[in-house]
Amino acid sequence: MDIIADLHTHTIACGHAYSTLEEMVRGAKENGIEILATTDHGPRMPGGCHPYYFYNLAVLPEVIDGIRVLKGIETNITDIRGTLDLPVAALKELDIVLAGMHPLTGYDGGTEDENTEAMINAIKNPLVDVIVHPGNPEFEVNVNQVVEAALNNDTILEINNSSFRKSRAGSWSNCLEIAKAAKKFGLEVIVSSDAHFSQDVGKMKKALQLIKKANLEEKDILNTSIERVTEFINTKKKVRAKI
């Protein structure tokens, strides 16, 4: 299975990543990635980008050094209502909007029911395209409810390669459960690197092992085809434009 797009990556702008966008583009080229989404952390993340950063992404070309660059954000889910940390006017202009739960950004996690409610509220938000690292054990959720909500709202769930590093230890079993449920319900997922350094763009070895274990195939993974990624992005952008 060929992964042609990395839809979750960070640059030096977000405060805790180590490469510029041009370096990330170079990493994409070196690692066989044709579409790179730059999705820096939202304003509530300590050291995260100011809203101006996201408004100003419009100055970037669509293609940099032969790589298609999608302008995006990894927003923070800041409360149980699923509130995001960027104004709607800014979110509407982006190519891709990721949403995830992170400590120290407003919502530090509650019971499984509360986390599930917060995540489903973000899933229902038509501004959101992808829920990132839903298997994070710091924010346990009801997997079947989350997968079902994603299916009903055309929201994608992510299998995040960086979750299998130390920072989100314990993610493997949760992510496997999510991947298996996605297979059962027929929900598409994306696999992404969550790279915070240029050499990690497109690196998804562990996540792909998990995908295999859950019997997910190429057809179940959105970012295996330029056409599918493009169609998804265009469809979601049209939905956002109407808000």
Task: Give the count of beta carbons closer than 10 Å to the beta carbon of residue 114.
Answer: 15
Rounded to 5 degrees, what angle do the CA atoms 13, 73, 242 make?
145
Give the nearest distance from C-beta 194 to Zn ion in angstroms: 6
Q: How far apart are CA 140 and CA 25, in angstroms?
A: 34
Give the nearest distance from C-beta 102 to Zn ion in angstroms: 6
Please answer whether residues 17 and 197 qualify as being in contact, where contact means their C-beta atoms are separated by less than 8 angstroms: yes
Q: How far apart are CA 169 and CA 91, in angstroms?
A: 31
Q: Which is nearer to Zn ion, 34 or 197 (CB)?
A: 197
CA terminus-to-terminus distance, the chain: 36
Per CB under 5 A, does 134 bind Zn ion? no
Contact track, Zn ion, 86-125, x by CB under 5 A:
--------------x-------------------------
Window 181-200: residues binding Zn ion (CB under 5 A): none
Give the nearest distance from C-beta 238 to Zn ion in angstroms: 26
Q: Which is nearer to Zn ion, 55 or 197 (CB)?
A: 197
Please answer whether residues 127 and 92 qualify as being in contact, where contact means their C-beta atoms are separated by less than 8 angstroms: yes
Q: Cβ-closest residue to Zn ion?
A: 100
**The two three-digit tokens of residue 83, written as one number:** 């509130």
Q: Which is nearer to Zn ion, 89 or 194 (CB)?
A: 194
Q: Which residues bind Zn ion (CB under 5 A)?
A: 100
